[in-house]
Structure 1
């Protein structure tokens, strides 16, 4: 009940309630922003923008999901917007260019660390990296990813599979290349 009261007070523009909500979620949302941006200054900037937007749009929060999940979606969208603005060469694939092939295998060579996988994901094109990150790290399903990125669920699945393929290829090159 406390969470609902706090959100209600924020809807009435109660600054103390906003500060309390901010303090409750800022560390977790900062971690989300850092996973996308890998830059502390950028993550802080995007986090502030996300909280401002959340407080401006808090009347749209309907309670269908937890407040944290609602806020996380805002943070992720702000991160993606930031990255898109930073890289104007973003190219979208159309759904008709994609085919989905189911492949549930996510194994990599035991010699490859989680940190190596994370760093290698950074090398992927944004369209694949976003879907991989939302699916693997943030735990969203394809319906949710589609909503966040403005895709269809089929496009989300396709990008996940293609991204996984690119990731495997990069990791294979890393393990067989001069880096090992």
Structure 2
């Protein structure tokens, strides 16, 4: 059965079709949530809430992107909302007036594993971590990240540049970065 047929059946509230989509995407969405939450119980909860939300809003799915991409955006948003709700107090810094200067070229040693880079990303401050993770790991572009995080396009670009700079410093500290 084709994915679009299953989605159409879900729009008619077909429980079998919903279970089919759930089984197809559950594990992948769990890994997406885990990259943000680092806790399997929280990730499971977010995945469940995301599927509930997706099935409630499935009539809004227009097929412009794959169902998986549409669902992934829901999981990412729910994960970020969950993390934000756990923060006691956050202060928004208006970075619009700050000038961004492109740093020197750098490359990562071939021996660096994805695990090492992911650990370094988790060490970044939250406002940079989300942008860097969405860009480098999840593959979103600046306009999509801006929409997901509800920040301006220029703020997104600034945070990505600064986050990548801090990531570079973290990796350099651990001798994983070489200068070009």
The TM-score normalised by the length of structure 2 is: 0.88
Q: Distance in 2 between matches of 1:105 and 1:139?
A: 21
Corresponding residue SS for 1:107? strand
- What residue number does 2:6 align with? 6
> Alpha carbons of 1:129 and 1:101: their partners in 2 closer, same or farther (altered >3 Å)?
same
Higher mean alpha-carbon deviation, 127-136 vs 85-94, is at: 85-94
RMSD: 2.1
User: 1:52 maps to what in 2?
Assistant: 52
- The residue number in structure 1 matching 2:91 is 91
Where in structure 2 are the equivalents of 1:130-149 lying within 5 Å?
130-149=130-149
TM-score norm. by structure 1 comes to 0.88
Mapping for residues 1-180 of structure 1, pairs under 5 Å: 2-102=2-102, 105=105, 107-110=107-110, 112-175=112-175
What SS class does the counterpart of residue 134 from structure 1 fall into?
Answer: helix
Gaps of at least 5 residues in structure 1 are none
Structure 2 unaligned segments of length 5 or more: list them: none
Distance (whole Å) between structure 2 residues aligned to residue 141 and residue 102 of structure 1? 19
CA gap 1:104/1:90 in 2 versus in 1, 3 angstroms: farther
Change (3 A) 1:105 1:90: farther
Contact 1:124-1:163 within 8 A present in 2 as well = yes
Decide whether the 8 Å contact of 1:100 with 1:154 is kept in 2: no
CA gap of 1:62–1:172, structure 2 versus 1, over 3 A, is: same
Number of residue equivalences = 176
| Alignment deviations for residues 61-88 of structure 1 (CA, whole Å, 9 cap, x no partner) | 1111111110000000000001111123
Note if contact 2:124-2:163 (Cα within 8 Å) is conserved in structure 1.
yes
The separation in 2 between residues aligned to 1:98 and 1:158, in whole angstroms, is 9
Most deviating of 64-73 and 112-121: 112-121
For structure 1, which segment, 113-122 or 89-98, has the greater mean C-alpha deviation from structure 2 after superposition? Answer: 89-98
Stretch deviating more after TM superposition (23-32 or 107-116) = 107-116
Compared CA separation, residues 48 and 107, structure 1 to 2 (3 A) = same
